[in-house]
């Protein structure tokens, strides 16, 4: 494959991922996923991780970041199949499949955009607390024009 083809493909994929992270082209969530995931945390969008990461996340729900988030086999299959259909295969899987360590996340939330002390504020608590700053995160809208950095 020619280098220009590889670079063009990567640019298109990154542009698509960035657009979705900015609230454009929001993929409607699978109701089952929305119900199950939102019982503990915000429902992260399928485009936030590559397919390989979602496959690993769904295969290890019994050890879901320190919690047993196991589901009935039919529910796990339904959600995993849906994620495999809609998730992008753009970029490398971030370390430990952590969205907050994905390239696009660190680019958008690095110290040039978000000061380090913001993450320690009681109103924010962690990088995974999207709704602390993204007013419409629960609707899948992460547009940079709808951000409110809490004090």
Predicted structure pTM score: 0.77
User: Residue for token digits 């950095």?
Assistant: 149
DSSP 98: -
* pLDDT higher than threshold 60 for residue 20: no
pLDDT at 112: 86
Mean of pLDDT values over 33-40: 92
Domain edges within the chain: 3-146
CA distance 95 to 125: 21
Instruction: Report the distance separating Cα 125 and Cα 40, nearest Å.
Output: 16
């Amino acid at each position: 494959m020619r280098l220009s083809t590889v670079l063009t493909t990567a640019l298109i994929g990154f542009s698509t991922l960035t657009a979705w992270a900015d609230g454009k082209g929001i993929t409607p969530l699978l109701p089952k996923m929305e119900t199950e995931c939102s019982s503990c945390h915000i429902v992260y969008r399928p485009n936030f991780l590559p397919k390989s990461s979602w496959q690993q996340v769904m295969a290890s729900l019994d050890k879901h970041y320190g919690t047993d988030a196991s589901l009935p086999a039919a529910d796990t299959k339904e959600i995993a199949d849906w994620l495999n259909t809609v998730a992008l295969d753009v970029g490398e899987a971030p370390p430990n499949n952590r969205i907050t360590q994905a390239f696009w996340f660190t680019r958008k939330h690095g110290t040039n955009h978000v000061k380090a002390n913001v993450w320690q504020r009681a109103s924010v608590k962690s990088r995974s607390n999207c709704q602390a700053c993204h007013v419409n995160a629960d609707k899948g809208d992460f547009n940079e024009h709808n951000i409110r950095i809490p004090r």
